[in-house]
Amino acid sequence: MSEKEKGTNGSRFREIVSVLRKHNITHGLSPKKLRLIMEDLGPTFVKIGQIMALHSDVLPKAYCDELMELCTDARPMPFEEAVAVIDESYGRSWKKVFSSIEETPIGSASIAQVHRAVLKTGEEVVVKIQRKGIYEMMARDIEFIRKAIKLMPPISLKGMADFDLVLDELWSVTRDEMNFLTEAANIEEFARRNKDVNFVQTPVLYQQYTTVHVLVMEYIDGCGIDEKDKLLEDGYDLKEIGSKLVDNYIKQVMDDGFFHADPHSGNVKIRDGKIVWIDMGMMGRLTEHDREMITLAIEGVALNDVGLILKAVLGLGEFKERPEQRKLYEDIEGLLLKYGSTDMGKINVAEVMTDLMEVMKENKIMMPHGLTMLARGLTHMEGVLANIAPDINMVEIAKARLAADFLHNFNFKKELKSTGRSLLKSVRKMIDIPSMTTDLMDEFMKGQTKVNLDLRVSKDLAFLLRRLVRNIVMGLWVMALLISSSIICTTNMKPKLWGIPAIGAIGYLMAFVIVMYVFIKHFLSRK
């Protein structure tokens, strides 16, 4: 490390220490104090705070809510510095590409700022320019945070979260945001996935002028989605806009698994009757498995079914050790008590997601990154809807789309295969029951049996036990019929049917009917 770098690092470290002392960090770290510290430390820490706000599965909800209030505006870098970044990225003067660039930026954030410009070919564009040296600054600041956390007293936020894990993810997400080629790829993918949605548009990307530090795309002169008076004046129906916005967002999440993670009002424009999504720097992804589990969780809340939510949570979660099943069950029951008497159409989806993440955090279950991004996105979406069309029912729109997708995409062959596997597994287990019972009785007679019981009196348990007993009885019937019919078929008993003794054939037929009954019953119970 050079003497200059050492001097810069030393100066920044003293600045950070000064801010921490100003806010008396040794006396604890309240949510408001954390936000004020982030704001005082400047754009880099504001960005870090915004990403931390996503982690209600790691940080207490009060901290996340406070960090959501962080101001996104930052002091603009001088115009000379901005064009110097362009020149360095292009390896030539910006005047070779643009006929003009407005000196005053139309937006300035922690990582970059945006200027209106006109290309030499005459197209009106916006130029997103990364702050000079921001990568090095953020890398240095994150390292300082790691050091500061080690110095934090036990009675602080330190004991509430795995900060090393959080910081690793922060740095990963931030690096992606600082690579404008990644954002360019996001724009192209989003446009491709929504090309058949006639009411959605994406700004045209000028790939030939886009680099790691400079992004050039079409200037959108439309109306902000929060400019209600102007939209009404132009003849737009706010409820229609809100409904289409939600429908498209549900499509992004559930169909594509690729969605806008920062859908606040500043990133959604209305132009020529179409919704234009801008700023693709922060996008979320969900795997097919994640989407299936989310749907299962929604069904669980709708049906007030603890078992379904438990399955979804365990399927979604990432954990170092198996959570305590009983505590998790009780926490989910507590969650359902909050929404049990509420009409599904009136439920705040973002709030449900946040509460579910809180349950997972309490049980030391980590959420996949895509789900934390979704929680943030839904919070912004609820805010946009509350402003332009508060009567819109997000849940009903989601239910309608999910129902339509189910009917359109239902794969009978896949479902049949899945159900068949489950049935086969159950039959194999039932075949083992007699031998297992014999072993158990033998151990009991020898005084070697130890039984551990953890019983819960609930409707779910009673239902589960009834179904288990029914399946065991059915399995035993099938076994008896198959064995007896097979023995009869070894004889020359008459009359015969299909070349085998009629009684044996009838036994096989009855076994088949019972198996089909169990199959259909199992299939319907999954609905």
pLDDT tens figures, 315-327: 888 776 677 878 8
Specify the range with the lowest mean pLDDT, choosing from 200-204, 332-336, 363-367, 468-472: 468-472
SS3 per-residue string spanning 476-501: HHHHHHHHHHHHHHCCCCCCEECCEE
Q: What's the pLDDT at 415?
A: 44
Mean pLDDT over 87-108 rounds to 95
pLDDT digits (tens, 9 = 90+) for 41-78: 877 777 777 777 766 656 677 887 788 777 666 788 99
How many residues make up the chain in this entry? 527
- Neighbour-count burial of 525, counting CB atoms closer than 10 A to its CB (0-12 exposed, 13-18 middle, 19+ buried): exposed
| Whether the Cβ atoms of residue 510 and residue 483 lie closer than 8 Å to each other | no
Residues paired with residue 284 on neighbouring β-strands, in sequence order: 259
What is the DSSP secondary structure assignment for residue 181, as one 8-state letter?
H
What's the pLDDT at 381? 87
Separation between Cα atoms, residue 324 and residue 328, nearest integer Å: 6
- 257-279 pLDDT, tens digit per residue, is 999 988 988 899 999 999 999 99
Instruction: Indicate if the pLDDT at residue 128 is higher than 90.
Output: yes
Tokens representing 509?
């037929």
Percent of the chain predicted with pLDDT > 70: 74
Classify residue 348 as exposed, middle or buried by CB count within 10 Å of its CB (0-12, 13-18, 19+): middle
* pLDDT, tens digit (0-9, with 9 covering 90-100), for 339-355: 765 555 566 676 777 77
Evaluate whether 125 touches 118 at the Cβ level (below 8 Å): yes
Task: Judge whether residue 454 has pLDDT over 50.
Answer: no
Domain with CATH 3.30.200 in the chain: 79-130+180-219
Q: 141 to each of 5, 23, 31, 227, how far by Cα in Å?
A: 13, 18, 20, 37
Q: In the CATH scheme, what architecture does the domain 79-130+180-219 have?
A: 2-Layer Sandwich (3.30)
Task: Band the pLDDT of 117: cuts 50, 70, 90.
Answer: very high
141-169 burial: b if 16+ Cβ within 10 Å, else e: bbebbeebbeebeeeebeeebebeebbeb
318 Cβ contact list (under 8 Å, min separation 6): 365, 366, 367, 368
Contact 356, 372 (CB under 8 A): no
At residue 407, the pLDDT reads: 39
**pTM for the whole structure:** 0.69
CA–CA distance, 235 with 229 (Å, rounded to integer) = 10
**The pLDDT of residue 411 is above 60:** no
